[in-house]
């Protein structure tokens, strides 16, 4: 695996690859890699000639300084995992490489309402940071395909819109959520859960499953209230939201409709660690 920390060297390398008609598959990450990230990488390796993984803990997408500082950083193990998985290129820039002279260039981006609810409402500024960093990466790498996880479904939809608006050379591919045995969505943040909190965290997936089983027979608001109350009975869990939305545009739904693809999304703090998950139904 080749490791590039510098944009100029990476671009030089990529130009020769593209001249040789190699397709580029890009997996952006913030590191602390787990099987979820590796499944994105597998998809990139399956459908493109060259896989590029980036590891960059992007400060502009953290709305809480505490969360940024506590974000797990396990770079040696990440490099080992990537080597083992047969990744071709690791892009490992420092902050100055991505935001030279501390400049944080806002881009004029029309979210079409995708940033209004859920993560957008609970993490002000978060998606501006995501869009800023993805736009920068896409300008540098110009990949054929960018792979995004379903776990961050709202982020996936926003990145798809970003690509449609600004990066027509790229397409976005969504990869299903990788889960632990009890259904907990894999996440770098899971590393911060203590033993008890880890057990509680498994209840989020069970709650989504319950919603999926019952949403067509119950009033949506009653079912959401019931599930949130059940979860909040666990002293370690504090639910932020549980919402049903149209899968294509994230418009919130009052009622489930079997003919319409929808997504049920949850965010909760488990012992102060903020976790999100969703199911497409």
114 binds ligand AMP (CB under 6 A): no
Cβ proximity to ligand AMP: between 170 and 177 the closer is: 177
Catalytic residue among 37, 126, 135, 167: 37
Cβ proximity to ligand AMP: between 33 and 245 the closer is: 33
Which one, of 235, 233, 234, 210, lies nearest residue 223 by Cα? Answer: 210
36 binds ligand AMP (CB under 6 A): yes
39 binds ligand AMP (CB under 6 A): yes
Query: Least distance from C-beta 20 to ligand AMP, angstroms?
Result: 28
186 binds ligand AMP (CB under 6 A): yes
193 binds ligand AMP (CB under 6 A): no
Query: Least distance from C-beta 175 to ligand AMP, angstroms?
Result: 6
Pick the piece of the chain touching ligand AMP (CB under 6 A) from 69-77, 172-180, 239-247, 254-262: 172-180
Query: Least distance from C-beta 188 to ligand AMP, angstroms?
Result: 5
162 binds ligand AMP (CB under 6 A): no
Query: Least distance from C-beta 17 to ligand AMP, angstroms?
Result: 23
Q: Is 37 in the active site?
A: yes
Q: What's the token pair of residue 10?
A: 């990476």
93 binds ligand AMP (CB under 6 A): no
- What length does the chain have? 281
Taking residues 220 to 259 in sequence order and writing x for each that binds ligand AMP by CB under 6 A, - otherwise, the string is ----------------------------------------
Query: Least distance from C-beta 15 to ligand AMP, angstroms?
Result: 26
41 contacts: CB under 8 Å, gap ≥ 6: 27, 51, 53, 82, 85, 87, 147
Binds ligand AMP by CB under 6 A, chosen from 50, 89, 92, 178: 178
Order of strands across the sheet that contains 273-280: 237-246, 262-270, 273-280
Binds ligand AMP by CB under 6 A, chosen from 51, 128, 170, 187: 187
Query: Least distance from C-beta 50 to ligand AMP, angstroms?
Result: 18
Residues that bind ligand AMP (CB under 6 A): 29-30, 36-37, 39-40, 148-149, 151-152, 175, 177-178, 185-188
Catalytically active residues, by annotation: 37
């Amino acid at each position: 695996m080749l490791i590039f920390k510098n944009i100029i060297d990476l671009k030089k390398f990529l130009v020769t690859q593209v001249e040789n008609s190699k397709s580029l598959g890009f997996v952006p990450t913030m590191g602390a890699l787990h099987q979820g990230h590796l499944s994105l990488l597998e998809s990139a390796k399956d459908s493109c000639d060259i896989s590029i993984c980036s590891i960059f803990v992007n400060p502009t997408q953290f709305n809480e300084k505490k969360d940024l500082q506590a974000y797990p950083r396990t770079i040696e193990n990440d490099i080992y995992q990537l080597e083992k998985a047969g990744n071709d290129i690791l892009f490992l820039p420092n902050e100055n490489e991505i935001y030279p002279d501390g400049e944080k260039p806002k881009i004029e981006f029309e979210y079409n309402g995708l940033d209004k609810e859920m993560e957008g409402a609970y993490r002000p500024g978060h998606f501006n940071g995501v869009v800023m960093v993805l736009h920068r990466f896409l300008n540098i790498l110009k990949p054929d395909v960018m792979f995004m996880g379903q776990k961050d479904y709202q982020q996936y939809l926003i990145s798809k819109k970003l690509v449609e608006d600004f990066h027509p050379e790229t397409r976005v591919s969504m990869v299903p959520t990788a889960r632990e045995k009890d259904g907990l969505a894999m996440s770098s943040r899971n590393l911060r859960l203590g033993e008890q909190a880890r057990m509680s965290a498994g209840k989020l997936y069970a709650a989504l499953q319950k919603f999926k089983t019952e949403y067509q027979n119950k009033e949506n608001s009653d079912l959401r209230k019931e599930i949130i109350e059940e979860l909040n009975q666990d002293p370690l869990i504090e639910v932020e939201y549980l919402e049903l939305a149209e899968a294509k545009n994230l418009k919130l739904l009052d009622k489930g409709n079997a003919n319409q693809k929808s997504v049920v999304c949850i965010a909760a703090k488990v012992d102060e660690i903020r976790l999100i998950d969703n199911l497409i139904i």
